[in-house]
Structures are given as C-alpha cells and as structure tokens.
Chains A and B, each alone.
Chain A
Amino acid sequence: MAQELTGAEIVIKALVDQGVDTIFGYPGGAVLPIYDALFQQNKIRHILVRHEQGAVHAAEGYARSTGKPGVVLVTSGPGATNAVTGLTDALMDSIPIVCLTGQVATHLIGSDAFQECDTVGITRHCTKHNWLVKSPQELTRVMHEAFYVATHGRPGPVVIDIPKDVQFQKGEYTGPQNVVHRTYRPKVKGDIEKIKQAVDLIANAKKPVFYTGGGIINSGTVASQLLREFVRLTGYPITSTLMGLGAYPASDKQWLGMLGMHGTFEANNAMHDCDVLINIGARFDDRVTGRLDAFAPHSKKIHVDIDASSINKNVRVDIGIIGDCAHVLEDMLRIWKSKARRPDKDALSAWWKQIEAWRARKSLSFKTNDDIIKPQQAIQRLYELSKHRETYITTEVGQHQMWAAQHFPFEQPNRWMTSGGLGTMGYGFPAAIGVQIAHPDALVIDIAGEASIQMCIQELSTAVQFMLPVKIFIINNEYMGMVRQWQELLHEGRYSHSYSDSLPDFVKLAEAYGATGIRASKPSELDDAIKRMIEVPGPVILDCVVDKFENCYPMIPSGAAHNEMILGDDAEGATVSEEGKMLV
C-alpha cells in the first residue's frame, strides 16, 4: 500500500524495510533532511565516522563479516569525493555497499554551487551502478533497486545521489516486494553440460589443484561447506587467493596455503605443474598468475565465476562456467556422486608426494632471536594467543598484510577482511570498526603497519565514542616495508621516501584519543603485551616494534613464473627482469 512521505522519510523507511540496522556516515548541508529523519527514529543506528573514506571501509568490514550489504550516508561534494577510494575498493573486491550521497538542490545542479560535484559522473567508474534521483516519485524504486543491484550477481558498491529538495518533497513509498528490476537478472545456475564436462575433467586429473577465491566467501557459508565437501571427496590439494582465505580450513592437510606473489612454495609449484586447474570464484588476478605465458602451462583450466567478463579476461580457460559458486558446487557434487566418480588413486598419491617435497622446503620459515621481534613471529604469537576466541582479522596494505595472510591461519569464512584488489592503505582500521559493530562480542584485530595506520587513524575517535574494543596491532618497522622491499629488488636499495620519519609515539597517541597504548620491543615482552591488548576493555593500540629489515618471502618477482620463486633463505642478490620492472 502506497503512502506519502518526504524523500528523507522514504530513504529511512526503505533502509528499514531492507533490513538495515546500522549505517556509517558523516553529516553535511546536503544531507541534513535525511539526518533529521534519522534523529526522529530508533530502528537504525548511525555510526559517526571521522572521514568519509572511513565510513565506506567500515561498511565494507560490516558487509564482509556478515554477508549483508553495508550502508553509507555522506554529504555532497567533498563527502562524496572522500568516499571514492572506499567505493573503488569495494568494486575491486566485490563488496556490496549502498552509498547514499546528498546533492545540491535540483535547480542548482550544474551551477557550481557550494559543495556541488558531479557525483554520478565521478562515481560511475567506481560503482557497479549509480543513480541521480531527480524526483521523490523515483526514490522508492531506486532505493530498493540499489539493494538488489548491490547484492545480486557479482556484488559491488552502488551510489544513490539525492538532491536536497528531493529529500524535502513528498512522494509515494512502496515496499521492496513490488520492485522488479527491468534489466538486471544475473545468472546463478551454471550450464549443466559444462558442469558435467568439468566433473569428467576433474575426475580424470592426474595432478589437479583447486584454486579458489573471494567468490566462495561472497556466495555465502553454504558455498564454503560445499567446497569443503567436494575437496575432501576428491582428496585433491587446494590453494586460495588472498580474498578467499577461510573458505577452506587452514588446518586441513589438503590445504596448501595461499598462492600468488607471496604464496607458499607448494601452492605455486602445484599451480605451475598441475594438469587440471579448478578455479572457483577467483579471477586470475596478476598477483596470482605472475607471468601469464608461463602460468599453469600444462593444465586444462576450469573457471567458475558469476561474472561472465571474468572468464577468459586474463587467462584463456577450457571450461568457463557462469554461475554462483554455491549453485555450481552443488551441481558438481551431485554429478560426482551420481556417477560414482573416483579420483585416480595412484596418480594422486604421486602428486601428493611431489607436493610434500615442495612443502618440506618450509617456505614460510624465518629465524628468530632474543633481541628483536620478527614480524612473522609477532603474527604467529597473535594467532596462538587469540585462536581460542571468536577472532576477526582486518589488515592494512603492505608487508604486514602478506605476513598476516601467511602466518595467521583461518578456519572459517568471513573472518578475514583485507583490501585485495585496490590495495588501500588505511582500509584495515575502519573495516575493523565495521566488523566490531556487527559482532560486538568478538575479538576484532587490525593487523597494521606504522605507515598504513596513519592513513585512517582519525577513526580512533569513532572507536572511543562507540566503545568499540577494536585492537590495532602495529607491525612497526619504521618503513613502508613493501615499498622498501621493491626498492631493494628494483632500484639497488635506493630508499626513496620509504622511511617512516617523524612517527608519532603510538602509545601516547592512543592515550590522547582516550584509548589504551601498549608497546612491545623485545621478544620477551611480546606475549604479555598481546595478552594485555586482548584483555584491556576498549580500543587498544599495540605498537609492536619489529626487525626493520625483514622482507616478505617467499616471493614471485614481477614478470616471473610460479616456479621461479625467491625463497627467504636465498633472497640475497635476487633481481627482477627488465620486463618485470615495468609491472607493479
């Protein structure tokens, strides 16, 4: 039944009807009517961030850890432009976000009014879709369509730009049940003939490997369960991208660890030598493939992806299946069982023997000593001291992120939030705030670097205001470590502007915000510091002072193949090809 409401009321009502309980935002002139409507209700909780980029990352953390869309509310002009980094991040990592932006009144659009910018123009390239709502009559449809588009098919961010006069004017409101999208109907069921072919190929493989990604996480926990069942049924090895960690339990013996640029020796060599590669919900990203013409060169490739444009984009595959991971896995399992398929036992045991030989290289190993904390050691201790809890990890971007991916094992999906595609420094802390909002009783830790954390440190104020016990675990090596590592590899160790000079005292910084600050400088202090960080109520910064010159290995240098990894113990003097230098 239709009812007349103001545009601002329509926005709130639609959010409630879409099941939204929390939004992340920052007020301003062009969204005042919506903020006024928010003030007069109590169904939606508003988390006031300190910068709009933080709002989007927080919404991403909320979305990634719950499977529900994250909602953002910001004002026009700088509010919208500050959100752009977060939106791009969500687009690259396929995170469902509905971002509402205020806009100047319709009659002012195009006049260079105060805090006006072409929001739909600017965000067209960093959203899955966006709308400028020019009348309150369109608002109800657009609101519901926005949630549908953000969450269906390959998830992604959407922007609804709402001029201020539209927020005041009255229009009809109808519930979400009456909205059917005119054009957008993504396919979730895979082509059954192709799935049958894929199962045949999988069953006849001699040296198979599963390569899974964030698509499994996005598809939901059912996809994770189906994946586990299928992988165990086959007995095949499995590796995953950065975004897919947790979909398959890291403690399982079939798990090879992460693959790609900083993946394990066994995962990358298995990828290189495999004869059947089963990609489910990953997108052959350049961090994963390395040199394309030497990528899994002897393999038949199967690719399951909900986005048809991901198939055959970077790597040509033999069987491309367009569909949702859970649906396709369900069909694969059913067909596998009904045809009573069995893996080739002899071939498989030879393959595992080879893999165990690679695994015996212990490519993630590192040397500890009594004087200085090794970054990998810090993360391993963090894991050991938090594994019995309901723990969620977010990260910033750089060496600490890769060490976290390598040394913090995950048993469940949705516990690992990181900026994979865009590589956004400043992501982790606001994302942790979003995770903590969604899981108030969980232990939420942002594994950070001393450089990254400064990109969204202002959100410490948010954490204190909302009493969010987020823990910031800073791996402090006084360098933009990954930049420095590449300068060593590519530019003969000329550390151009990669030293983190004039660092704040992070303990005092935490205290200045009203949080708790702790420092650990020696291996002997590490465990106590971590325990205290976990036990102290409220937000905590643990400034973990680590070895300044430790680098992240193993590594596939850019422009190299999977079987040309640099391992930590022979990294001295490693170089990059001239071609590789052109790559990032």
Chain B
Amino acid sequence: MKKDETIERHTIAVLVDNEAGVLARVIGLFSGRGYNIESLTVAEVDQAEHTSRITIVTVGTPMVIEQIKAQLDRLVPVHRVMDLTVEANSVEREMALVKVAGTGERRVEALRLADAFRARVIDTTHTSFIFEVTGAPTKIDAFIGLMRPLGLVDVSRTGVVAIARGPEAM
C-alpha cells in the first residue's frame, strides 16, 4: 500500500460556539498533533447565537488533511467543519496594512504601484504611508514584494478569510 505523499494546501472553515478557550482548543490540536497552520483567523459571526468562524489554511498530505478535519469535527464546541478547497467553489480574501516610509521618487513610485493594486492610503505623514490592500494572499505577497525596495517598514496581515460561492450557508 503506497501512501500519497503529495502536499496539499487546504482552506478549512470551522463554525464554533464562541465559548472561552475554544481557540486554544483548535490551536492546541494543531500544535499537539504536529499539524501546520499557514494562517488562522477568527471572529464572532453571530452575536445572538454566540458563534464564531475560524478560517484555517493548512498544508499536509491528503491523509493528514483528512485527519485534521476529523479531529476538528470531534471537538465538542464545533458546529461544522467545511473544507472549502474540496467541498465548495470558494472565494478567499486577505487584508493587509502596509507601512512604507520614504521621500522623493520612491514615495511617488509607492503611491503609483498602490494605485495599480487598488490599495487605499489610510494614513499619511510627510515621510510615510499606510496602505490598506485586499485580495488573494498571492496578490498581497506581490504588493509587499514591490514595496520592499521602496521603503517597506511594517506589515500587518489578517490571514485568509474564505466563503463558499453560491446561495447556501455553511
């Protein structure tokens, strides 16, 4: 029996009861069992129902990915686990705040590139900008890469949020 060793990247959405320690449970599961977390986001999505949605981007062999989903699903406060990479056609977005410091030509170039990426300026001084850029993680990577020679000083990224296309709820 040959094991499939190809490494896949999956985006998994987890709907949980927003109770104390639920995030620690999810993170503890990944660290305790040696799974990878590429990105993780969490926020309450329904105040009345006290539910939060966690979006995890992880990598692993198909067997590991299957394990991760099963392990998440058996956590007591978990309502539902959905593998957005296989179960649905989904959209993924990430937001980043990117601080670029500089003057003169580099400053103008940063602004010009930001425009091309539809990044918004949300704070400015005579020597710096903070850009808000939204898109797929690869787009944000590209934007940060372009800003690096232009005076990139600080980056804050949200991690990936994702949702299935079409009319159905999770």
Residues of A within 8 A of B (CB): 120-121, 124-125, 128-130, 132, 149, 153-154, 182-184, 293, 297, 307-309, 311-313, 316
Contact = CB atoms under 8 A, between A and B. Distances in A.
Given A154-B74, A183-B17, A311-B70, 17 more contacts: A120-B21, A121-B21, A121-B24, A124-B24, A124-B28, A125-B28, A129-B75, A129-B77, A130-B21, A132-B21, A149-B76, A153-B74, A182-B17, A183-B16, A184-B77, A308-B74, A316-B3
A214 to B, nearest CB: 17
A153 to B, nearest CB: 8
Nearest to B66: A312
B73 interface: yes
Most buried by A among B1, B16, B76: B76
Contacts of B20: 120, 132
B67 A183 contact: no
B37 interface: no
Contacts of A130: 21
A308 B28 contact: no
Contacts of A183: 16-17, 76-79
B86 to A, nearest CB: 15
B25 interface: yes
Interface centre among A124, A128, A132, A309, by most B CB within 10 Å? Answer: A309
Contacts, number: 51
19 contacts: A121-B24, A124-B28, A129-B75, A129-B76, A130-B21, A182-B17, A183-B76, A183-B79, A184-B77, A307-B74, A308-B70, A308-B73, A309-B67, A309-B74, A311-B70, A312-B67, A313-B67, A313-B70, A316-B63
B76 A184 contact: yes
Nearest to A298: B1
Interface in B58-107: 63, 66-67, 70-71, 73-79
A284 to B, nearest CB: 13
B149 interface: no
- The CB with the most chain A CB atoms within 10 A, among B16, B21, B32, is that of B21
A311 B69 CA distance: 12
A316 B64 CA distance: 12
A293 B3 CA distance: 9
Given A309-B67, A312-B66, A316-B1, A124 B21 contact: yes
Q: Is the interface of B mostly helix, strand, loop or mixed?
A: mixed
Nearest to B63: A312
Contacts of B25: 124
A10 to B, nearest CB: 20
Interface string B136-169: 0000000000000000000000000000000000
A153 B20 CA distance: 23
B76 A128 contact: yes
Contacts of B1: 293, 297, 316
A124 B19 CA distance: 14
A132 to B, nearest CB: 7
Interface of B: 1, 3, 16-17, 20-21, 24-25, 28, 32, 63, 66-67, 70-71, 73-79
Nearest to A128: B76
B71 A309 contact: yes
Contacts of A124: 21, 24-25, 28
B20 to A, nearest CB: 7
B32 A125 contact: yes
A130 B75 CA distance: 11
A121 B28 CA distance: 10
Q: Which 8 A-B pairs have the closest CB atoms?
A: A309-B70, A129-B76, A308-B70, A184-B76, A309-B71, A183-B79, A309-B74, A183-B77
A312 B76 CA distance: 21
Contacts of A154: 74
Contacts of B76: 128-129, 149, 183-184
Please indicate which of the listed interface residues B1, B20, B77 has the most CB atoms of chain A within 10 Å of its own CB: B1
A293 B74 CA distance: 28
A153 B74 CA distance: 9
Contacts of B63: 312, 316
B1 to A, nearest CB: 6
Nearest to A186: B74
Question: Which of A121, A129, A183, A297 has most chain B Cβ within 10 Å?
Answer: A183
Contacts of A309: 67, 70-71, 73-74
A27 to B, nearest CB: 27
Contacts of A182: 17, 79
A124 B75 CA distance: 11
A154 B52 CA distance: 25
A125 B31 CA distance: 11
Contacts of B77: 129, 183-184
A132 B25 CA distance: 14
Contacts of A311: 70
Contacts of B78: 183
A128 B25 CA distance: 11
A154 B70 CA distance: 13
A409 B32 CA distance: 37
A48 B98 CA distance: 61
Nearest to B77: A183
B151 to A, nearest CB: 42
Contacts of B21: 120-121, 124, 130, 132
Contacts of A313: 67, 70
A143 to B, nearest CB: 15
Contacts of A308: 70, 73-74
Nearest to B79: A183
B97 to A, nearest CB: 31
A153 B75 CA distance: 11
Contacts of A125: 28, 32
A518 B97 CA distance: 76
A129 B16 CA distance: 14
A199 B39 CA distance: 43
B75 to A, nearest CB: 8
B71 to A, nearest CB: 5
A206 B9 CA distance: 41
A563 B78 CA distance: 42
Nearest to A315: B1
A439 B78 CA distance: 38
A139 to B, nearest CB: 15
A174 B93 CA distance: 45
Contacts of A307: 70, 74
A311 B16 CA distance: 23
B61 to A, nearest CB: 11
Contacts of A293: 1
A307 B75 CA distance: 11
B60 to A, nearest CB: 13
